[in-house]
A and B are shown apart, each in its own frame.
Chain A
Amino acid sequence: MKDLVRLTDVTKVYRGGITGALNGVSLTVESGEFTAIMGPSGSGKSTLLNLVAGLDEPSSGSVAVCGTDLGSLGEARLARFRRDHIGFVFQFFHLLPNLTALENVLIPAQLRGNGSTARAAELLERLGIEEVADRYPSRLSGGEQQRVAIARALVNRPTLLLADEPTGALDTRSGEQVMDLLGRLHRDGQTILLVTHDARLAARHAARVISVMDGEVVDDSRRQVA
């Protein structure tokens, strides 16, 4: 397997910060992996995910995704890179409130120049939420909103799916459903990088768990997932 994500000696210091959110982190993620990044609040795991998504830039070091050094891309090319290669699922779903579920899913495809609704409708059906296609986010449950967000992340068939605490805002049952969904996607070949502070979830679904503490990788273990 080849490296899909490569972080090389990455440090991130926020303005006004005394210590770095990330301090010299180096790691790789291979294609097809389901990797969980674990750590307590403020450990730097979300920062790591934002850097991989190209939403933020490191203070030093380099981040490469799909062989592309993200530091070499400007804002516009980063946006295009994201829409072509990366899907992002947020803890609080972050659906655009004035678009219906279907329109939310469609947006990345439309930005890529593909306005066909077939793929979006298929995803909604596959995720079991086809009946909410015309509803606005405010009329959806948390679980439904997160599934819409996952569909939006998948609509361009991304090489890498990033999920930042995808169950953090959900009840236990909805959280389980979402994680099962991610597991299914992984089994279908999707590379997933998951950020969570829930050790149980990480252990149950991810084949590899990277632990982060105070901006440093303190553990990186692989195991066989049932």
Chain B
Amino acid sequence: MAAVLVKALKDLRRRRLQAAVVSVTALLAVGTATMALTLQSQTRTSYQTVFDTQKGAHLQVRFDGRIDPRTLAGSPALIGATASGGPYPSTDVQFRFESRKYLVSTIGRDNPDGQVEQLRVVAGRWPANDSEIALTQSFADLNHISIGDRVKIVSVPQEPQLTVAAKVFDIDEGSAAVTNQHSWMLSSAIAALTPPGFAYSFMDYRFASDPTDAHLQADLNTLRGSLPAGSVTGSTTYIAVRTVFGVTNLLATNLLGAFSIFALLATVAIVANLVTGIVISTYREIGIMKAVGFTPRQVELVVVLQIVIPAAVAALVALPLGAVASQPLLANSSLALGLPYQAAFSPALGAVAFIGALAIATVAAFVPALRAGRLKAAEVIASANAPRGRSGRWLRRLAARVRLPRPVVLGAGDALARPLMAILTMLAIFVGVVTVTVAIGVPRALTEIVNHEESIGYAHVLVNRSPALADSEAMRIFSADPDTKRVVGRVPQPVAVPGLGDQAIAYTFRGDSSRLGFLLLAGRWYGGPGEAVAPRGLMHDAHLKIGDHFTVTVGTRPVSLLLVGEVYDANNLGHTMFVDWSTISPAKPDLAPSQYLVTLTPGSDVGAYVRRVAAVQPDLLDVQRNDPSLTESPIGNALIIVAAVVIVIGAAAIFNTLLLNTRERARDTATLRTVGMSPRQVMVMVAASAGLLAVVGGAVGVPAGFGLNRLLVSLINDIGNNDTPASMYEVFGVWELLAIPLACVAVAVAAALLPGRWAARTRVIEVLHAE
């Protein structure tokens, strides 16, 4: 074994450049795989652990505030809950902090403990008087609110000031980035903060074992049937919370998982390519090794170790790097759970990634190394060099026929001289191009989702109204501004839909919602009262199809609807519908928009408009420019990093192939130099080899990447319970589909520079003498 190790280590020192290529590719592949594995493992278990520890509620129900608390106190027995919390008096509170205003459900609760939904205070202390409030850590951190900060309540005319006393973790709500949040005050403080019509009570229920969605739906029906009509005004199940929590990470782990497979594929291609090259370039040496007593297996081992040693070293470095790179996404998960972020890394998973990567590298190296073991010593010692590849001759003849410059003709032939190496190189390029295509397409599709859901580009300004300000007053302010072109009011109205465990949200619009950019996938937009459009999630789970009549419950009142279209909407996991004001208002006469989507006249200064409207009602209107962006999405950033990784791997593959080709063809190149080929022409010849491989890899990679992008975008929309609109696939310009392979050629030619220079600068006499 010592001889094998000594030989392998010495060969590694001789092939430092190739060892570096292996190291870089292994580092990147193992790094991304570690990221994916770390995310998957740490997020899969953490929710359930915290849910059990904090005795999370399986079912949270919001009741009308007029229901007698004693009646609600008896409700757990109705549904067989083994533990319960509440009833907690609650209301919706809008408060202002610095220049921003926020709407939170505020629950009256005198301590954070209890049998169900224990709240963990992680900063400060529980509110001790009526002028203190506790916020979720997720919400406070997202909005940079600290303990001791003062917030001003703007949803009641008194506008009291509250002090933030605590940051808490609540397992029964998702991240503040994706869901509305709760806050807590002493129960004695709630009445003074409750605007007319905004009084609720919350009950939390927990069961002996985790119930199914159907069980929870049955429990809700029992509550509705047993309590006075209209008692239940909202509900949330632990299944919905868990799903919301997991959506971002599911998305991230799926994408990272796919990308790490790409990276590993590219690594396999490059390793197989390298080993093939090593065997070809050391023909005589292999013969000598055999002559002095190396067994075929030992010869193979010497070759394989030249891959495995740098790969192992790189993998050891990649493990902590991958774990560190996954931390921002893990921190996001922690935020979603309301957990304090703690750096997490699983040594067992690290071992899996390490051993897995080495196993893959070993197999990828071992297969081509078998050739080294099979070589006949006498033959290879006698012939010294591997038989020259001849497969490129037809291409060379073809290139000559179309009268390309001679260096290009020669380079084109060299590119395919060894078909296996050419295929492996093109495979690495192919994977790189596919990855880049997907890395461009997926974030754009995500942006499309946000843009259409938020009416970005259609409504220029979003305004949230405090209940303390009358709707008519808000409309007067908009009408008074000459830049206002159109105002559509919107309120999310909880509705009970037969077949759904949770309540769905009926986005109820006052005004022309058809011009707000929502994506209609099938059917038509609603045209008047009694018509609705809904996303696939609601249609599927409530067993509805376009043309179906169904009845939802708004408060206590049944509302008959006709489903006329399918709309794209990932909010509330697709359990939403879009209806006109005239559909809901008869069942809820006090309905008023909580939000206004304002479209401005062309040429208006959006910033100036925002400042003007906000100045009229600084406390009671929250006026924001409607231009959220995904640029800070950790998923988008991760995709960009991984795409860059795979590009480097692809470039390394080209570099390696050209290095081997130029070395193998050193004598040919020297001969060409003696007959008059200039160093520049030598470089052109090498670059032509690279360019040809890149053109083929890119030409195949772009449509494949396009197809994979479709697949991933569909997968993303499946997670959000939506069908995929065609516009989310059509995120590439024609020029981009041409530019990607061209960029690929540019990278390939750049990767060819060093081997080209090496070939061009080699001293002819030395080469010919050595040969």
Contacts and interface: CB of A to CB of B under 8 A. Distances in A.
Interface stretch (B316-324, B356-364, B374-382, B745-753): B374-382
A161 to B, nearest CB: 13
Contacts of B296: 75-76, 79
B7 interface: yes
Contacts of B377: 50, 55-56
A83 B290 CA distance: 9
A94 interface: yes
Contact of B2 (A96, A115, A156): A115
Interface string A58-88: 0000000000000000011001101100001
A103 B293 contact: no
Contact of A82 (B7, B291, B298, B382): B291
Given A50-B378, A110-B2, A76 B293 contact: no
Contact of B293 (A56, A95, A111): A111
Interface in A91-119: 94-99, 103, 106-108, 110-112, 115
B292 interface: yes
B293 A96 contact: no
A111 B11 contact: no
A97 B281 CA distance: 13
A152 interface: yes
Contacts of A107: 3, 6-7, 292-293
A34 interface: no
A152 B294 CA distance: 13
A33 to B, nearest CB: 22
A123 interface: no
Contacts of A97: 14, 285
A35 B165 CA distance: 101
Interface string B268-292: 0000000000000000110111111
Contacts of B292: 82-83, 88, 107-108, 111, 152
A106 B293 CA distance: 12
B13 interface: yes
Nearest to A83: B293
A56 B378 contact: yes
How many of chain B's residues touch chain A, expressed as a range? 20 to 34
B3 A55 contact: no
Contact of B294 (A47, A53, A79): A79
Which of B2, B289, B373 counts the most chain A CB atoms within 10 A? B2
A43 to B, nearest CB: 15
Contacts of A80: 293, 295
Contact of B381 (A82, A94, A108): A94
B383 to A, nearest CB: 11
Nearest to A164: B381
Nearest to B3: A110
Nearest to B284: A94
Nearest to B290: A79
B297 interface: yes
B588 interface: no
Nearest to A104: B292
Nearest to B5: A110
Majority secondary structure, A binding face:
helix
Interface in A108-148: 108, 110-112, 115
B549 interface: no
B680 interface: no
Given A94-B288, A96-B288, A103 B378 contact: no
Given A55-B376, A56-B379, A98 B10 contact: yes
B376 A94 contact: no
B1 to A, nearest CB: 8
Given A76-B297, A83-B292, A108-B293, A103 B284 contact: no
A50 B287 CA distance: 12
Contacts of A111: 3-4, 292-294, 298
A111 B284 CA distance: 19
A155 to B, nearest CB: 9
A79 B293 CA distance: 5
B295 A99 contact: no
B298 A96 contact: no
A75 B295 CA distance: 7
Contacts of A47: 378
Contact of A79 (B285, B298, B379, B382): B298
Nearest to A152: B292
A140 to B, nearest CB: 15
Contacts of B379: 56
A150 to B, nearest CB: 12
Contacts of A99: 6-7, 10
A112 B295 CA distance: 11
B291 A98 contact: no
Given A107-B3, A107-B6, A110-B2, A98 B293 contact: no
A96 B291 contact: no
Which of B4, B290, B377, B379 counts the most chain A CB atoms within 10 A? B377
Contact of B14 (A46, A79, A98): A98
B295 A55 contact: no
Nearest to A99: B10
Which of A50, A53, A111 counts the most chain B CB atoms within 10 A? A111
Which of B4, B10, B287 counts the most chain A CB atoms within 10 A? B10
Interface in A11-57: 46-47, 50, 53, 55-56
A64 B261 CA distance: 53
Contacts of A76: 295-297
Contact of B291 (A94, A106, A115): A94
Nearest to B291: A88
A44 B292 CA distance: 22
B285 A96 contact: yes
Interface string B375-401: 011110110000000000000000000
A166 B11 CA distance: 26
Contacts of A83: 292-293
Nearest to A80: B295
A66 B405 CA distance: 61
A165 B428 CA distance: 46
B144 to A, nearest CB: 60
B349 to A, nearest CB: 38
Interface string B1-39: 011101100110110000000000000000000000000
Contacts of B373: 75
A90 B381 contact: yes
Contacts of B382: 46
Nearest to B377: A55
Contacts of B4: 111
A11 B4 CA distance: 35
B552 to A, nearest CB: 77
Contacts of B294: 79, 111
Nearest to B299: A79
Contacts of B11: 98
B417 to A, nearest CB: 22
B500 to A, nearest CB: 69
Given A53-B378, A82-B291, A98-B11, 10 more contacts: A46-B382, A50-B377, A79-B294, A79-B298, A88-B291, A107-B3, A107-B6, A108-B292, A110-B3, A111-B294
24 contacts: A47-B378, A50-B377, A55-B291, A55-B376, A55-B381, A56-B376, A75-B373, A79-B293, A82-B292, A82-B293, A88-B292, A94-B288, A94-B291, A95-B288, A96-B10, A97-B14, A97-B285, A98-B10, A106-B3, A107-B6, A110-B2, A110-B6, A112-B293, A156-B293
Pairs of residues from A and B, 8 with the lowest C-beta to C-beta distance, nearest first: A83-B293, A110-B3, A56-B378, A50-B378, A79-B295, A55-B378, A76-B295, A55-B377
